[in-house]
Amino acid sequence: MFQIYDRYILRQLMLATLIVAGGLSMIILLTQSLKLIELVLESNASAQSFLIMMALSLPRFFESVLPAAVLIATLFVFHRLAMDSELVVLRAAGTSPLRLARPVLTGTGLLIAGLLVLSLWVSPIGIAKVQNLRKEIRAQYAHLMFREGIFNTVGPNLTAYVNKRAPDGRLVGLMVHDTRTVANGGPAVTIVARSGNIVTEKKGQKIIVYDGSRQELNPRTDKFSRLDFSQYTLDMPDETGTIDERWREPDERTLGQLIGPVSLADSSPDDRLQFRAELNRRFSTPVLMLAFALMSATALLLGPFRRGGQMPLIGAAAVFALTLQGAYLVCFSLAKKTLLGCVLMYVVAGLPVLIALFFLTPPGERIIAQAARLWHRLLHHDLPRRRDV
């Protein structure tokens, strides 16, 4: 009988979790896709690039919503069991709450294994590929950042004007005003050319202009100089670096990249703190997901049965989950600064698990029953009164 019950509950929990997680992931994907659509439209990239970035982003979104999906699925399944009186029958048959919660532990254990695979390898690889693809699109279609007939801000202290753009992508009637060296006492440079092209190289992007002049005014001597040229190359600003040299954020790094040897550029104390916080987040999030599942199951297994519905218990579980999630995020922010935050992440996530497991045992169940009777007496003013002598 119990094997049938375990398989039934496990199937319902897994199916509900996957449906909720898929729905939440699609909602987040639709909201985040607006940024990708803007990038694709501005760069005139193909629809294939957009679909690839969407697909690569899905593991990260699925990882983010999985704990919430487990919470919602557990509340939904056990609420339906309570309303169908299945839990009442099983409890009347002498089944302990811990035995009834065993499918929750089994299902959450399977989901934890999947979550670890996602967070430690699949999701970071997908995020890194999305960022690289975004940069490739910007580099490949960089010439489209120059709009015809207006002054375009190409980067900090660099402005360009294009009269028109030829069908082959060549810029016709070009003027560039470069003040990047003014802060260091250098001259402001103005370049006027008949035409120009955007060239993408491994080290960055350049503007190659043809048949024009380079004019500058020395701020120290107020001396004006002019240089006519047939070809001139101007480096374009690229604050993010090349694809090969691009700094990878902690959430873009796999497990081996977080704990393994890093380059000299990654060896600063702040970087180490970021890596440590991210690593502990990935290992403590599954514990938080288990806390959500056990907390939901405990509330509906030990709470009083109401024929009108278990909404008070569901609401209390949801409020507690939101509070727990908020405390966890505070600890994660603290973990980026100190080791204490990393420890508190496990405390915040693990303590509710231990408390829920205790309440599911016979001693914990007796404590809950005594607390419920005391609460009932308080509500109905049924406490014993002292007699006057």
Summarised one tens digit per residue, pLDDT across range 212-271 is: 999 998 877 888 899 999 999 988 765 544 445 567 889 999 999 888 765 445 567 788
| pLDDT given at position 232 | 92
Summarised one tens digit per residue, pLDDT across range 159-207 is: 889 998 888 778 899 999 988 888 787 888 999 999 998 876 666 678 8
DSSP code for 250: G
Position 1 confidence tier, pLDDT thresholds 50, 70, 90: low
| pLDDT given at position 235 | 82
| pLDDT given at position 240 | 46
Question: 339 CB contacts (<8 Å, ≥6 apart)?
Answer: 276
DSSP code for 337: T
3-state secondary structure of 381: coil
Residue 389 has pLDDT above 50, yes or no: no
Q: Report in angstroms the alpha-carbon separations of 255 from 52, 123, 218, 250, 258.
A: 24, 11, 53, 10, 5
Question: Burial, 96: exposed, middle or buried (Cβ in 10 Å; 0-12, 13-18, 19+)?
Answer: middle
| pLDDT given at position 49 | 86
pTM, full prediction: 0.78
Residue 66 has pLDDT above 50, yes or no: yes
Distance between CA atoms of 254 and 151, rounded to whole angstroms? 42
Residue 288 burial (CB count, 10 A): 24
| pLDDT given at position 320 | 96
The owner of tokens 């550029």 is 265
